[in-house]
Structure 1
Amino acid sequence: MTTGDDAEHGMQSTDNEAPRCYGMQVRMTSRSLSRLYSKAMAPHGIEITEFSLLATFSRKPTVNLTQLAETLDLERTTLVRNAKRLAQKGLIAPCTRTGSGKNYIITTAGKKKLNAALPSWQMVQDRIAAELAATGGTNIAQLLNNLRNIEKPD
């Protein structure tokens, strides 16, 4: 049953479903997409978070973790933990320090891993794009970007 107030605020419920808020919907969607990407990355021995970081490291000659955490809106401790995992796998390596924070570069093994995993990532991207196109949600990237910026003051 949906009340007028619930529907107005994006919350709906049916006899078989508890009310859900936008926050819950976003979290559920995020987990679902993360599982989809993780399945695609599993044969390559990396998680989607590691793939994303490798892609970031491949686009820049050196990456400062403090700056990267700010850019990606990640907790620095989470980023450091993921970077350590990549370094232990030999996919990135620490390099000369400049300023605050550690700098890393992608290794040859990291580039190979990224290139091997790229087609699997692209398949997931294509699957999501097709689903969005079929449901008229082709502007989802812009909408998500807008929502990410909602907490920032004008």
Structure 2
Amino acid sequence: MTDLEAIGKTCFALHARMTARLLSRTYEAALRPLGLKLPQFGILGAIGHGTTASETVLAERLGLERTTLVRNLKVLTQNGWIEPISDKGRGLRHRLTPAGQALLEAAIPLWQQAQSQLENRLMDVEGDEARRAMRALRKASYPP
């Protein structure tokens, strides 16, 4: 019989999923007063940063399934926070509206507060060390 306890203690995927859910709850709670979800904050940030990539490229950069990105883009558009811009070819790109820019500016301090709270709770692990470990796991997870 397989040692299921050992698998539970060592499985990167299991630990990453548990960690991601808890981290998401922390950031979601911080952004909730603005009616903003964490993936939407990431999308607004990428668009606000000047990422004018196609939806497919934007999804890859943000680590989102394309369907998840498209669903969130629809919500952001319906709320008047982003608008599509015409592009050569078939790709669709977006830009922040003034309301989207204002929302992003209001969300950043809330994100910073959640980020600081997590950094302070890390205890024996440096924030940069934790981020390096997560990047290494992402890199190791890409197909060869």
Structure with the bigger RCO (C-alpha within 8 Å, sep 6+) is 2
State which of 92, 108, 118 in structure 2 corresponds to 1:128.
Answer: 118
Aligned match of 2:35 in 32, 45, 52? 45
Bigger radius of gyration among the two: 1
RMSD, matched Cα: 2.0
Q: Is the 8 A contact 2:42 2:62 kept in 1?
A: no
Q: TM-score, normalised by structure 2?
A: 0.87
Q: For 2:85 and 2:131, how far apart are their aligned partners in 1?
A: 34
- Residue 141 of structure 2 aligns with an amino acid whose one-letter code is E
Moved more, 62-71 or 118-127: 62-71
Q: Which ranges of structure 2 fall in alignment gaps of 5 or more residues?
A: none
Query: Greater helix percent: which structure?
Result: 2
Q: Quote the residue 1:114 is aligned against.
A: 104
Superposition map of 1:44-83 within 5 A: 44-60=34-50, 62-83=52-73
Q: Distance in 2 between matches of 1:131 and 1:99?
A: 47
Q: Structure 1 counterpart of 2:59, which letter?
A: A
SS at the partner of 1:144? Answer: helix
Deviation at 1:152, TM superposition (A): 2.6
Give every structure 1 segment of 4 or more consecutive aligned residues whose post-TM-superposition deviation is greater than 3 Å: none
Counterpart amino acid of residue 85 in structure 2:
C
* TM-score (structure 1 length as normaliser): 0.82
> In structure 2, what is the Cα distance between the partners aligned to 1:67 and 1:123?
29
User: 1:76: Cα distance to partner?
Assistant: 1.1
Q: Structure 1 pair 61/107, CA: closer, same or farther in 2 (3 Å)?
A: farther
Aligned partner of residue 85 in structure 1, secondary structure: helix
> Structure 1: where are the runs of 5+ without partners?
13-19
Q: State the percentage of identical aligned residues.
A: 36
- State how many pairs are aligned: 140
User: How far apart, in 1, do the equivalents of 2:91 and 2:63 lie?
Assistant: 16
State the alpha-carbon separation in 1 of the partners of residues 143 and 25 from structure 2: 33
Q: Deviations over 1:19-63 (max 9, x none)?
A: x73322211111111111111111011111111111111011634
